[in-house]
Amino acid sequence: MAGYILKRLVSAVPVLLGISIIVFLIMAMIPGDPATAILGSFATPENVAALNEDLGLDKPLVQRYFIWLGNMLQGDFGRSFALNRPVLDEVTERFNATLVLAGSAFILCTVFGIAAGVISAANQYGLADKAITFVVLLGISIPSFFLGMMMILVFAVNLRWFPVSGMWPIFGDRTLWVLLDHLAMPATALAVVATGVVARLSRSAMLEVLRQDFIRTARAKGVHERRVIWGHALRAAMVSIIPVLGLQAGFVLSGAVYIEMVFQWPGVGRMLVDAILRRDILLVQGGVVFVAACYVMFNIMVDVAQSLLDPRIKT
């Protein structure tokens, strides 16, 4: 198992390099030069030239890439000029908040998505199936930012069940309970779309599995139908559900950008949007690379989970 994990980690290296190259190339497409962007349009040519030299922008593209990569490997992601603090500090701090939000949403979508899919498949064409199918369709069609806004309107403004926005109250204790109170709405709004997708996939994976011969064997043994569905069938279906969970993590992370805007959640998505609007290129660049790298690592964990579940995978 340790060997398998190591192998997957090694195979991630070219992917991470690829990510850094893609991000670097996209950022190199920026028209004009960042120095002018940083210094504003009233900067003197001398100042621009000086800053360009500081940033290493006078060097050829390939050299610049390796300098940037080398710095990143040493933990130096550059400095955000708008915030005037190291990019890595800002990104990790913001990423923690995103992790809380996206992580909760991911757990919600996994649990409820799979449960809904299984119930749906077990009662195919029944009332529960139809109801779930309809709710799922609604869920995957509603824009998460619109859903978030409506939730604020109903549950925060009208019913006053939850705070309107933010991760913590401005005054008061930072306890787990307070966090959960603030987390409930954004995590739910974020989870809805992914739950729908997971439910759909789980349903079809279950239907596929339920026709297999080993299900008939389990029934012929006298295994109770509850266990046939939630044990035998679900376990086999997980083989095709888990890879999709990996994909959903990407969708949840993406959706977090909108939800962070709607709920004023101090996460990395809001940071990126603000940085783009302020043209804080180094912050965007560092943030994107950092989050993408975390996502790659997460997918390795998914692969490992898959190999733990399925003994047929060569480890």
Partner 1 sequence: MSAFLRLLARNRLALGGLIVLGIVVILALLTPVLPLKPPNVTDTPNRFLPPFSEGAVLGTDHLGRDLLSRLMWGTRLSLAVGFAAAVIAATIGAAIGIVAGYYGGRTDNVIMRGVDMLMAFPYILLALAIVAALGPGLMNALIAVAAVNIPFFARNIRGITVGIANKEFVDAAKLAGMSDAKIIVTEVLPNVIPVIVIAMSTTVGWMILETAGLSFLGLGSQPPRADLGSMLGEARSALITNPHTSIVPGLMILVIVMAINLLGDGVRDALDPRLKSGALSRPMPATMVSRTGPIPQAEGDDLLAVRDLKTQFHVKDRVYKAVGGVDLSLKPGECVGLIGESGSGKSVTALSIMGLVASPPGVITGGAVHYKGEDLVGAPYDVLRSLRGRHVAYIFQDPQATLHPLYTVGDQLIEAVSSHRRISRDEGRAHAIDLLKQVRIPNAENRIDSYPHELSGGMRQRVGIAMALANDPEIIIADEPTTALDVTVQAQILTLLDDLRRDRGLAILFITHDFGVVAQLCDRVAVMYAGRIVEKGPTDAILNAPAHPYTAKLMACVPELGAGRRRLEAIPGLPPGVDQLPRGCAFADRCHRVTEACRARAIPLEAHGAERSVRCIHPVEAPKTEAAQ
**CB nearer to partner 1: pick between 93 and 274:** 274
Q: How far is the CB of 46 from partner 1 (least distance, A)?
A: 26
**CB nearer to partner 1: pick between 96 and 124:** 124
Q: How far is the CB of 287 from partner 1 (least distance, A)?
A: 8
Q: How far is the CB of 15 from partner 1 (least distance, A)?
A: 5
**CB nearer to partner 1: pick between 142 and 179:** 142
Q: How far is the CB of 53 from partner 1 (least distance, A)?
A: 23
Q: How far is the CB of 304 from partner 1 (least distance, A)?
A: 16
Q: How far is the CB of 90 from partner 1 (least distance, A)?
A: 16
**CB nearer to partner 1: pick between 60 and 311:** 311
**CB nearer to partner 1: pick between 50 and 250:** 250
What residues contact residue 149 under an 8 Å CB cut-off, 6+ apart? 262
**CB nearer to partner 1: pick between 182 and 260:** 260
Q: How far is the CB of 279 from partner 1 (least distance, A)?
A: 8
**CB nearer to partner 1: pick between 127 and 176:** 127
* Three-state secondary structure readout of the chain: CHHHHHHHHHHHHHHHHHHHHHHHHHHHCCCCCHHHHHHCCCCCHHHHHHHHHHHCCCCCHHHHHHHHHHHHHCCCCCEECCCCEEHHHHHHHHHHHHHHHHHHHHHHHHHHHHHHHHHHHHCCCCHHHHHHHHHHHHHHHCCHHHHHHHHHHHHHHHCCCCCCCCCCCCCCCCCHHHHHHHHHHHHHHHHHHHHHHHHHHHHHHHHHHHCCHHHHHHHHHCCCHHHHHHHHHHHHHHHHHHHHHHHHHHHHHHHHHHHHHHCCCCCHHHHHHHHHHCCCHHHHHHHHHHHHHHHHHHHHHHHHHHHHHCCCCCC
**CB nearer to partner 1: pick between 148 and 167:** 148
Q: How far apart are CA 181 and CA 187, in angstroms?
A: 11
Q: How far is the CB of 174 from partner 1 (least distance, A)?
A: 26
Report whether 202 contacts 116 (CB < 8 A).
yes
